[in-house]
Amino acid sequence: MVLKVFAAGLVFALAPLFVSEVRADATLPSGCADRMKGQRLTLVVPNAAGGGFDIYARSLAPELERIGGVTVRVSNMPGGGGKAALLRVANAPSDDYAVLIDNAGDIVAELLEDPSLGKTPQDFRALGIVQVEPEAWVGRPDLNLMDPDAGPLVAAVSSVEANLGTVGLPAMATGHTVRLVAGYAGSGDQFAAVLRGETDFTSKAKGTALRAMKSGDLKVLLVLSDGPDPMLPDVPWLAGEGGLVAHLTAGLPEAERAERQKIAQLAVSLSSGARILMNSAAVPDDVQVCLNAIFDAALVSPDFRDAAQAQGRDVTPIGAQEAERIFENKLEAYSRAAPLLDEVATQLRP
């Protein structure tokens, strides 16, 4: 497998301050209204303005201001394949509570696979999740992954580390030869690369893939799940009975088929998309309690849901405690998959 990496410069933009009425919610824990009133809170998005994470951030911001009495801004930082945003949150100044909104699997992958960041998962805390959905490959309409001779394929990705579970492991399970072109900042750039013929596909959350398919120029090629998707009944799924791996390994020795299915199941666990909100573990405990309460209330707000849905983004809100458990499960899955991920990384890196 071959990897070509394009340099990605750090680019960021700050949105204007939101002007909704500041009124701390009376249901916040004792002392939080006074503690948080007027404090700065930055929602850090690892993509350019206009994408899914950006829409969620801008839909959530007014509710955070209304409930918590904080002053919210949105910062778009697509540089470095998401690493710039990660470091912005980890290194936030004490008077600016920065919160990252990103895919939980991507965060885990970056932290575990790139020691140059100097950060670990223990440097972050989960504040909540806005949506959970499976990952999907989306690409050229003429591409048929059920064909064992399809390929070699080229995938447009933001970084190698963030796609070991979403592209590398599935390719290992199916037997398709895939090379990565890294450095594309967000869904728009990755879809454009496919449309220009530079790459064959990219891996995205299912909702993002469905929206891309509406143009007719792109097709959902594969759902990274262990069963058929009710919204995509004609699209192959990765693992389990009747899935793509079962189809492509028919006729192979049983031991090899079982090993391929094991890899496919790991890929499903690692790639399942949780759009998570995380902040630095260095935030004082009393502030963390307040932030948890503010985000818990904002995530279940009908106004947040309506604002996101009006822009084609579904909301499946999950509070801080359950979000922390989901993040820990991601870490555990990556630990189980570590030997395979190391093998994939070796193949994908030059």
Residue range 134-171, pLDDT digits in tens: 999 999 999 999 999 998 999 999 888 888 889 999 99
Residue range 173-193, pLDDT digits in tens: 999 999 999 999 888 899 999
User: Does the structure show a pLDDT above 50 at 12?
Assistant: no
Q: Are the CB atoms for 182 and 4 separated by under 8 Å?
A: yes
pLDDT of residue 95: 73
User: Does the structure show a pLDDT above 90 at 22?
Assistant: no
pLDDT of residue 349: 67
Kindly report whether the global pTM for this prediction surpasses the value 0.75.
no
Quick one: CATH architecture of 3-132+274-336?
A: 3-Layer(aba) Sandwich (3.40)
**9-13, 79-83, 133-137: the lowest-pLDDT one:** 9-13
Instruction: Give the N- to C-terminal CA distance of the chain in Å, as an integer.
Output: 9
The domain ranges of the chain are: 3-132+274-336, 135-271
User: Does the structure show a pLDDT above 70 at 301?
Assistant: yes
pLDDT of residue 1: 36
Compute and round to an integer the Cα radius of gyration of the chain. Answer: 20
Does 3-132+274-336 match 135-271 in CATH topology? yes
Residue range 201-233, pLDDT digits in tens: 999 989 889 989 887 899 999 999 999 999 999
One of 3.20.20.70, 3.40.190.10, 3.40.50.1970, 3.60.15.10 is the CATH number of 135-271, namely 3.40.190.10
Extract the tokens encoding 108: 């885990």
pLDDT of residue 350: 57
Distance CA 164, CA 348 (A): 9
Tell which wins on pLDDT, 7 or 114: 114
Q: What does pLDDT average to over the chain?
A: 88
Contacts of 204 (CB under 8 A, 6+ apart): 135, 136, 138, 187, 190, 212
What H or E segment, with its residue span, contains residue 101?
strand 96-103
Residue range 264-298, pLDDT digits in tens: 999 998 888 899 999 999 999 999 999 999 999 99
Extract the tokens encoding 123: 């440097």
Q: Are the CB atoms for 82 and 28 separated by under 8 Å?
A: no
